[in-house]
Copies of this chain bind each other. A is one copy, B any other.
Amino acid sequence: MTWELKTDRPIYTQLVDQIKLRIISGIYAPGEKIPSVRDLAFEASVNPNTMQRALSELERDGLVFSQRTSGRFITEDEKMINEIKDSLAKEQILEFFEKMEKLGYNKKDTLTLMENTLKEMA
């Protein structure tokens, strides 16, 4: 997994999203230690301050916590991780419904079209 950054919205929010994705998908497992700010910043080719801000955001949400001397860790609260996962999913769903409405499909149309698509693929 790599870092993909676009220019259409603040970089730190994109970092937040991508780290969330890594947590949800288990790339960063619950309780695991994550790389240092400096390493992450280097990896993503962003300024350490920007990465710092992203991590603070995640800390505020409770997804990661820092231990002064030994570094940052992913929360062990798997329930919280699942909640984040669901909320991200809902975001995606709403965004998707919007796009489909631009194309002239209302939510119900969208669902039936997806069911058909699924059958075709099988």
Show the binding face of A for B, using Cβ within 8 Å.
6-8, 21, 24-25, 85, 88-90, 92-94, 96, 99-100, 102-105, 107-108, 111, 113-115, 117-118
Contacts and interface: CB of A to CB of B under 8 A. Distances in A.
Contact of A93 (B92, B93, B94, B113): B113
A102 B92 CA distance: 11
A89 B97 CA distance: 11
Contact of A118 (B25, B85, B105, B111): B111
A85 B113 contact: no
A111 B117 contact: no
B115 A24 contact: no
Majority secondary structure, A binding face: helix
Contact of A100 (B89, B99, B104, B108): B89
A89 B118 CA distance: 13
B102 A89 contact: no
A23 to B, nearest CB: 11
B89 A105 contact: yes
A25 B85 contact: no
A102 B24 CA distance: 9
Contacts of A114: 93, 111, 114
